[in-house]
Amino acid sequence: LNELNHRVKNNMQMLQSLLYSAARQTQNPEAKRVLAEANGRISAMAAAQRVLYGTTGATRCSAREFLDAVCQSAQQAFPANIRIACEADVGEISNDTAVPLALILNELLTNATKHGLDGSGQGTIRVGLTREPDAFLLYVEDEGPGFDLQAVRSRASGLRLIEGLARQIRGQFEVTRAPSRCKLLFQRDEL
C-alpha cells in the first residue's frame, strides 16, 4: 500500500510539473487558464489522496481531515486576500467518495473565487461538510449574488463536471441565492 501511494503521488507530481511547464511556455491566455484549471483539479485529487493513504486502512478517511486538505490545497492557488473558512463534522468518507468529492469541491472553490466575490477581488469563502441524518452535506458559500443553475449549465463545463461527479456519488447538487450557496447532499457510506 505504501508503494502504491508513493507511485501515485509521484505520478501526480509529474503531471503537475508538466502542466506548470506548459503554462509557463504558452503565451495564449486561454491555454494558461485551461492548464491552471487542470493543475487545480490534480492538486485537489492529490490532497484527497494524501489524506486517504495516510490512514491505516486506506479505504476511508476523516471528513474533517479531507476537507482541510482540499481547502488548503486550493488556498495555495488563490490570491492571499481570498480566505477559505472550513468547518466539518466528525465522520468518515470512503475512497470511492473522496476523489470525486475533491474534484467537486475544487470546482466550487474556483467558481467562488472567480465569480462569487463582491468585485473587490477579496473576501471569504465558507465551506462546510456536515452530517445529516442519512447523508453528508457539502456546501460552498460566497459573498456574490449567486447564479441560476439552469441558465449557466449549458455553457459552464465545470458545472457539468460537478453534476456528473455528483451522480457518481449518488448526490443531489443545488444552487441557491442570497446567500450564494452551492450544496451537494450525498449518501453517507460510513456504515
Confidence class for position 99, pLDDT limits 50, 70, 90: confident
Phi, psi for 154 (deg, rounded to 5): -70, -25
Cell of 64: 474533517
- 175 contacts 181 by C-beta, under 8 angstroms: yes
Residue-wise pLDDT tens digits, 15-48: 778 888 888 888 999 888 888 888 888 877 777 7
**This model's pTM is above 0.85:** no
> What was the pLDDT predicted at 6?
61
Statement: residue 167 has pLDDT above 80? yes
3-state SS, residue 116: coil
Confidence class for position 191, pLDDT limits 50, 70, 90: very low
Mean pLDDT value of segment 74-84: 87
CA distances from 186 to 5, 113, 141, 150, 176 (A): 27, 24, 18, 21, 17
Mean pLDDT value of segment 107-125: 81
| Amino acid present at 13 | Q
Cell of 89: 463534522
| Amino acid present at 181 | R
Mean pLDDT value of segment 107-116: 85
Mean pLDDT value of segment 83-108: 89
Question: 87 or 189: whose pLDDT is higher?
Answer: 87
- 88 contacts 131 by C-beta, under 8 angstroms: no
Residue-wise pLDDT tens digits, 141-157: 988 777 777 777 777 77
Question: 11 or 100: whose pLDDT is higher?
Answer: 100
Across the chain, mean pLDDT equals: 83
Mean pLDDT value of segment 114-135: 83
Among 55, 39, 43, 45, CA closest to 1: 55
Question: 31 or 190: whose pLDDT is higher?
Answer: 31
